[in-house]
Structure 1
């Protein structure tokens, strides 16, 4: 396996509209982005379509936006596209899959009717970032793996070499703390 091009050089390829930017992005971050899509969609065909859309969206976004961290930029694109695809696929079948469980877990913190609206709200994102910054490292990592990467409880337990019950307990305490934090900030819970 050869060396990957540095992120700054890949970004520069996007900016000068050199199509090698897409190839370099796929080589360096394809597996990372695919894992995000797979955790949301659990369908290889949908994942592949999401991956193609990720590179297309990155290509179209880059001339106006220079990302600070390319991996996070591509991961966020993949995550958002995957969630859009999931919603489209499950709009009539609500209640199936890991994403539905995650939304159910978070409904105690943010009302279900307003969840998508609140998540898009930048003010809420800033509050959540402050909340995450104040957490113990292990709890924050567990929280992010569950609610950003959509890892299953079992995957998180294995990743951090802890029991599933410890992961569930950590998530429950974190959600309760987040709910209280949001309530103090005036966010409807």
Structure 2
């Protein structure tokens, strides 16, 4: 169905407007939401909210480029959802990091903090702890890998 006819369905408050929109643009809208959220459920929710927003906006709106207009709605909803999810997880991030650091050995924690909190070079860390640079590098590599696994296990995408 042509965009003009779909928009007329919205204007007439004909409920067929939603399935017609979904049939023509649903796949594209899901793609936009998925690319931002990487969650099937969240993407589905944003696409459904897009249909609701279109229903509420038409009339009085009469979008000229319907496809682009729908895509912008989905993109904005998805970005808002992404920001919301990120903000929820941000609050617990410091505590998660503290728990992770407490799980490291004393030496591993010292290397990690000196390098990533205080910004010391690998050479400075090695000198301060009286070990070789290779040991510092391998410890930091293992710690980063363990941190990534720990955060992913806690539901935080890295």
Tell whether 2:65 aligns with 1:65: no
Residue in 1 that maps onto 2:84: 88
Structure 2: how far apart are the matches of 1:72 and 1:93?
A: 31
Gaps of 5+ in 1: 95-189
Q: Structure 2 length normalisation: TM-score?
A: 0.55
Higher helix share goes to which structure? 2
For the pair shown, the structure with the greater C-alpha radius of gyration is: 2
Structure 2: how far apart are the matches of 1:23 and 1:69?
A: 19
Question: 1:109-148 alignment to 2 at 5 Å?
Answer: none
Q: CA RMSD in A?
A: 1.0
Residue in 1 that maps onto 2:11: 15
Gaps of 5+ in 2: 91-158
Q: 1:27 aligns with which of 18, 23, 27?
A: 23
Instruction: Count matched residues.
Output: 90
Structure 2: how far apart are the matches of 1:74 and 1:92?
A: 27
| Poorly superposed stretches of 4+, deviation over 3 Å | none
Structure 1: how far apart are the matches of 2:36 and 2:89?
A: 15
Residue in 2 that maps onto 1:76: 72
Post-superposition CA distance 1:2-50 (Å, at most 9, x none)? xxx0000000000110011111000000000000000110000101111
